[in-house]
């Protein structure tokens, strides 16, 4: 079968290039991963060099353009991206991609998909590119949003991922006329409210409490592991104004019910209603540490996430060099799920490994 021309494309620190027969070992590395076998129907049966070569042969065709995604410095293949089901008459296509396990969460998928879209709209003159993935594949939903794909709907029982279960699929699409850049995050669908947490109360921030933000910014522990990092009272008031705007988050000052003093901060952010998930973060002023403030506030914010927002999963991520946060997570009922290597640049300017914890709405309340 005659294939379409596959141009070589630059994408940040990546290069998208045509596949070659010498790439069979790289295909095996891409396939030899639980996530790839779960979500990629084409890679699922690839276990041998012969099957890898057959997979490569299948990337060539009149209705498809597929690239190996390589590191521009080392030449290592770190992923794949392709346009398939190209219909020149209807001017549309579908996009698919995958990333080597060790290179996920580093922007590879976003850069590769963006470059492939540039060729789809510019080189091929397409008007529409769709992206389909199982509803359970939350990472693909994040990539779609980061690349400007609008979620158009749910296709019921649309995909078989080799587990004898028909999975619902999300259908996203980008049009040639859509603006570049990521979609804005979905809104938090509630107005600011107070939350009672035993001897504590979670209240929306007020400007009169900006001095607590200044104090937090002066604390070396908070500066290392958290925001805020403000320089003066005016900057602190601006921070409070952002904390009060619940358009994409829910953020509270943590108060002592008896004294009214501000003891810390807790926030739900990266809220994704379509995936029923979010992330919790917090900080506690030095004089309030060791009293269970953090775990109580985190547990209360998580109950709010499950009840008022209808979330099913809340994550808590912290540097492994911050063992106090590990204790907070466990006390608040968050199970440790794994290690994220070189995941975040903290206040010392270094990339740190992180622990990923999570609680589900179906998990028992912490004892």
Q: What is the pLDDT of residues 270-322, one digit of tens each?
A: 998 878 899 999 999 999 999 999 999 999 999 999 988 888 899 999 999 99
Global pTM value = 0.60
The pair of three-digit structure tokens given for residue 274, joined into one six-digit string: 């379509």
Per-residue confidence band for 218, with pLDDT thresholds at 50, 70 and 90: very high
- Residue pLDDT, tens place only, 36-59: 888 898 999 999 999 999 999 999
| Stretch among 110-114, 151-155, 185-189 having the lowest mean pLDDT | 185-189
What domains are there in the chain, each with its CATH number? 9-175 (3.40.630.30), 195-360 (3.40.630.30)
Alpha-carbon distance 241 to 55, whole Å? 54
Per-residue confidence band for 27, with pLDDT thresholds at 50, 70 and 90: very high
Q: Note the pLDDT of residue 109.
A: 95
Q: What are the distances in angstroms from CA 269 to CA 58, 88, 228, 327?
A: 42, 42, 15, 21
**What b/e string do you get for 278-310 counting C-beta neighbours within 10 Å, with b at 16 or more?**
bbbbbbbbeebeeebbbbbbbbbbbbbbbeebe
Per-residue confidence band for 1, with pLDDT thresholds at 50, 70 and 90: very low
Per-residue confidence band for 186, with pLDDT thresholds at 50, 70 and 90: low
Spatial contact of 173 and 131, defined as CB atoms under 8 Å apart: yes
From the list 301, 294, 213, 211, the residue with the least C-alpha distance to 249 is 301
Percent of the chain that is helix, strand, coil (3-state, to 5): 30, 35, 35
What sign has the CA pseudo-torsion 186, 104, 363, 225? negative
Residue where the block lists tokens 């353009």 = 65
Alpha-carbon distance 8 to 16, whole Å? 6
The pair of three-digit structure tokens given for residue 61, joined into one six-digit string: 């065709």
Percent pLDDT > 70 in the chain is 98
Alpha-carbon distance 217 to 285, whole Å? 10
- Residue pLDDT, tens place only, 107-149: 999 999 999 999 999 999 999 999 999 877 878 888 998 999 9
Alpha-carbon distance 210 to 242, whole Å? 12
Q: Note the pLDDT of residue 119.
A: 98
Alpha-carbon distance 82 to 111, whole Å? 13
- Residue pLDDT, tens place only, 220-230: 999 999 988 88
């Amino acid at each position: 079968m005659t294939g379409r021309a596959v141009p070589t494309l630059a994408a940040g620190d990546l290069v998208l290039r045509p596949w070659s027969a010498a790439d069979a070992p790289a295909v095996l590395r891409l396939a030899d991963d639980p996530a790839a076998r779960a979500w990629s129907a084409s890679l699922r049966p690839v276990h041998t060099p012969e099957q890898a070569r057959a997979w490569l042969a299948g990337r060539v065709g009149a209705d498809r353009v597929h690239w190996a995604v390589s590191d521009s410095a080392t030449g290592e293949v770190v992923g794949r991206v392709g346009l398939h089901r190209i219909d020149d008459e209807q001017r549309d296509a579908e996009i698919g991609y995958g990333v080597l396990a060790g290179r996920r969460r580093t922007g590879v998928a976003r850069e590769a998909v963006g470059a492939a879209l540039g060729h789809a709209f510019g080189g091929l003159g397409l008007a529409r590119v769709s992206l389909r993935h199982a509803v359970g594949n939350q990472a693909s939903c994040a990539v779609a949003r980061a690349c400007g794909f609008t979620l158009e709907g749910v296709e019921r029982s649309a995909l078989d991922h080799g587990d004898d279960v028909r999975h619902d699929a999300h259908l996203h699409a980008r049009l040639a006329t859509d603006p570049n850049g990521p979609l804005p995050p979905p809104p938090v669908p509630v107005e600011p409210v107070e939350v009672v947490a035993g001897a504590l109360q979670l209240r929306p921030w007020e400007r009169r409490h900006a001095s607590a933000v200044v104090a937090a910014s002066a604390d070396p522990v908070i500066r290392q592991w958290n925001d805020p990092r403000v320089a003066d009272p005016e900057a602190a008031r601006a921070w409070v104004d952002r904390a009060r705007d619940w358009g994409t988050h829910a953020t509270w000052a943590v108060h002592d019910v008896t004294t009214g003093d501000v003891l810390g901060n807790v926030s739900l952010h990266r809220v994704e209603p379509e995936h029923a998930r979010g992330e919790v973060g917090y900080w506690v002023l030095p004089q309030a540490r060791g009293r269970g403030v953090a775990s109580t506030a985190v547990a209360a914010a998580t109950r709010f996430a499950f009840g008022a927002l209808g979330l099913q999963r809340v994550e808590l991520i912290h540097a492994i060099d911050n063992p106090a946060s590990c204790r907070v997570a466990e006390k608040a009922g968050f199970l440790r799920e794994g290690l994220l290597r070189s995941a975040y640049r903290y206040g010392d300017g270094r990339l740190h490994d992180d622990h990923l914890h999570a609680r589900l709405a179906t998990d028992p309340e912490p004892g």
